[in-house]
Structure 1
């Protein structure tokens, strides 16, 4: 019996913009969308991987956070250094072109890395770093 990744959470301060990035630019299907306005939890994932999801959630809502901690989270998000996710694809060039065409913030064009992968990187609308590796 193994342990599987079910969900990972990424903060999303503009749910509509984040939804457009993950659904429209990356092609993920929406599995659940609860709440309203900026207080939404949106679950998305690859159509062919129903067991794995990304949950976009309102940032800094965890109970017990101080005002300073909340402020720090938003400052880190604004710098683009709060959260990261690494995805993979069989067609890195095609995926890069499709995402770039949506106007997404390009951090790195496809390149071979010293650590043995070819990848590219974007920032999603909340500033999260999204790296995409070539399979």
Structure 2
């Protein structure tokens, strides 16, 4: 068994596509129209056959309270691995990304938390050398 697909609820699929590809560096794997929304997935540019992230519309009534509670408590909806959190933090900051947690070393890992512009907090993490 392996993880093939996971999702993150987004307020606006087009804004999410732009942020996750143009800013974070993922690439679109599938973009299939489905009525007023799309089956829109992205993958790592370094692992195009790897796990897909579905940028799922947050229209279901249960999603807004869930997302709002996570953001209010500072809990990331997803975590992505990076080679170096501090380097990635600087790169993303230069692109205008807003961080809610600056890079912090916590034992064997360094993390930072950013706002994905689509209603979520996302953590980036790297093991310390």
Q: TM (normalized to structure 2)?
A: 0.81
SS of the residue 1:22 aligns to? helix
Residues 5-84 of structure 1: pairs in structure 2 closer than 5 A = 5-35=3-33, 39-49=37-47, 50-61=49-60, 70=61, 72-78=62-68, 80=71, 84=77
Cα distance in 2 between the residues matched to 1:74 and 1:83: 15
| Deviation for aligned residue 1:12 | 1.2
SS of the residue 1:16 aligns to? helix
The ranges of structure 1 where at least 4 consecutive aligned residues each deviate by more than 4 angstroms after the TM superposition are none
Paired position in structure 2 for 1:131 = 123
| Deviation for aligned residue 1:38 | 6.0
SS of the residue 2:54 aligns to? strand
Q: Which moved more, 1:117-126 or 1:31-40?
A: 31-40
Q: Which moved more, 1:38-47 or 1:24-33?
A: 38-47
RMSD (Å), alpha carbons: 2.3
Cα distance in 2 between the residues matched to 1:24 and 1:37: 25
> Where does the alignment leave 5 or more consecutive residues of structure 1 unmatched?
62-69
SS of the residue 1:130 aligns to? strand
Cα distance in 2 between the residues matched to 1:104 and 1:37: 31
Contact residue 28 and residue 47 of structure 1 kept, 8 A? yes
* Number of equivalenced pairs: 123
> Where does the alignment leave 5 or more consecutive residues of structure 2 unmatched?
none
Paired position in structure 2 for 1:66 = none
| Deviation for aligned residue 1:14 | 1.0
